Structure 1
């Protein structure tokens, strides 16, 4: 057996074990439980599970999908997650041989786990935990640095991971911003977040178009500092920020300023940077105040989610795969969501699936076929 084939087998076995742990994350993260303690137990009778109860796939099959101790049914999701993780890890090891791409193969396996766990939680709770996505962005940057050290051409280096994370978050948050603005019939937000939130993201979009990503992000964060110093929200109208961005891009397409492409890139990256800062801030804020029961605390807790769990998931995908494959993932996600929505409409059923699972599906497609699709697109453009 060749070393590469042996690594594929080992990767599949590792995936089965990681899939078992993924089920722990899927159950415990939404409930705010410790992922290590107490040890694995039946959620129905609380009986601690033994080693023979925790063998991936085989324990579920041997027990015929029921708890050994109380007879309660065990969801089929458990073996499905284990099987998908095992097959996914083996596929990654086959397409991206670890002896060739180095740490990048392990990074892609980590990404697959993040996508699978995030999708399962999103299907259950309609949320994607910050405890999954924000550390996931950091891991993407770490593996980007390792890719650069190893010299892996197929995967982004540290600079590419940063660019992918910022553009991923920026693209999704820009869609969110303009979509919300249109749905509100271009009226201002009634309750802007304090001290930073969507208003600062919109300001970063406008400033980033003219000043570039880092100065644009600085302007957005400066607005948050002004709010903090004033102890209130100093409003910056969306007609100025979002409307100004549309005017700016129109001017850029006519040859003014840095040019349309650079303006779009600068705007999205600046907004992505501010949105990730918002995500970290509200995550930490919620962790400090989650036991408060006052209406004010509830309002802050609602703001912590801010409606862009998908934004942070896109940042994770961009950090691991780079901005070009991220675009492939978003396009696939949009088409998959639209297709499933049409099927649900034909069946006269409400489509309750959030965008996160579609985005995860798009990321898997981009991981496997994204490089080829990007290369063919570049060939069509003569690049």
Structure 2
């Protein structure tokens, strides 16, 4: 047996073990529980699970899908997650051999787990926890920073990872900003966030079109600082920010300033940078007041897209780069549209969980992105 084949087998077994831990994350993260303590137990009778109850796939099959103690049914999702993780890790190890790509396949395996866990939680709760996405962005940047031989073909450079994370968050949040504006019939937000929120992100979009991503972030932070000092939201009309961005793109397309591509990329990256800073602040603020139910009155403006999707796109961009991120979004939109038509035909609910589609697109980009993008370039003669 060759070394590469042995590593594929090892990766598959390792994936089964990681899949078992992934089930812990899927259950505990949405509930705000500690992922390490108490040890694994039955959610029905709290019976502590013995090592023989924790064998990936084997324990579920041996027990007939029921708890050893209370005989309550165990969801089939548990072995499915374990099997998918084992299969995914083995495929990654086969397509990106460790002997060629060094540590890069480990980064792709981490991304696969983040996508699978985030999708499962989104299917259950319509949310993707910050504890998964924000550290995920950092991990993507870290793997790009320490990438070793051959990794450039599997993972982006550090600069590419930063660009991918910013453009990923920026693209999704721009869709959210303009979609929400339309849903509100172009009226201003009733519940702007203090000190930083969508108004500052929209300002980063506008400023980034002319000043680049870091200039856009700087302007957004200045606005947040003004809000903090004033202890109130100093409103910035969306007609100025969102309308101004559209006008800026139109002006730039005529050759003024950074040009069309530069304005769009700078604006999206500026909005993405402001989004990640806002996400970090909201995560910290939420954790600080988690026990104060009165701090959240449930008042929100209509939203075209969940902010968890914005951060998940940043994770994908950080691990795979902006080109694969765009491919992932295209696949996600297509898959979502097809499934939406199926739902409509079956007269089912029309609420769309975009996270799983985005994860599906990312897996397609992860496994076949290089070939698809290469074929597309060849078709265009690039």
Fold match by TM threshold 0.5: yes
**C-alpha contact (below 8 Å) 2:340/2:352 kept by paired residues:** no
- Rounded to whole Å, the distance in 1 between the matches of 2:299 and 2:311 is 17
Q: 1:152 Cα shift?
A: 2.0
- Rounded to whole Å, the distance in 2 between the matches of 1:340 and 1:288 is 38
After TM superposition, list the pairs within 5 Å mapping 1:142-181 onto structure 2: 142-147=142-147, 149-154=148-153, 155-181=155-181
Name the SS of the counterpart of 1:214 in structure 2. helix
Q: Rate the CA distance shift 1:239–1:110 in 2: closer, same or farther, 3 A.
A: same
After TM superposition, list the pairs within 5 Å mapping 1:5-24 onto structure 2: 5-24=5-24
- Rounded to whole Å, the distance in 1 between the matches of 2:268 and 2:72 is 49
TM-score relative to the length of structure 2: 0.97
TM-score relative to the length of structure 1: 0.97
Q: What is the total number of aligned residue pairs between the two structures?
A: 379
The alignment status of 1:298 with 2:296, answered yes or no, reads: yes
After TM superposition, list the pairs within 5 Å mapping 1:1-383 onto structure 2: 1-147=1-147, 149-154=148-153, 155-294=155-294, 297-299=295-297, 307-383=306-382
- Rounded to whole Å, the distance in 2 between the matches of 1:220 and 1:177 is 15
Structure 2 unaligned spans of 5+:
none
Q: Rate the CA distance shift 1:83–1:287 in 2: closer, same or farther, 3 A.
A: same
- Rounded to whole Å, the distance in 1 between the matches of 2:299 and 2:281 is 12
Q: 1:302 Cα shift?
A: 7.0
**C-alpha contact (below 8 Å) 1:104/1:146 kept by paired residues:** no
Q: 1:299 Cα shift?
A: 4.0
**C-alpha contact (below 8 Å) 1:337/1:355 kept by paired residues:** yes
Q: Rate the CA distance shift 1:59–1:302 in 2: closer, same or farther, 3 A.
A: farther
Alignment RMSD (CA, Å) = 1.5
Q: 1:381 Cα shift?
A: 3.0
**C-alpha contact (below 8 Å) 1:146/1:157 kept by paired residues:** no
- Rounded to whole Å, the distance in 2 between the matches of 1:299 and 1:145 is 41
Structure 1 unaligned spans of 5+:
none
**C-alpha contact (below 8 Å) 2:100/2:150 kept by paired residues:** no
- Rounded to whole Å, the distance in 1 between the matches of 2:359 and 2:288 is 30
- Rounded to whole Å, the distance in 1 between the matches of 2:107 and 2:11 is 13
Name the SS of the counterpart of 2:293 in structure 1. coil
- Rounded to whole Å, the distance in 1 between the matches of 2:208 and 2:177 is 15
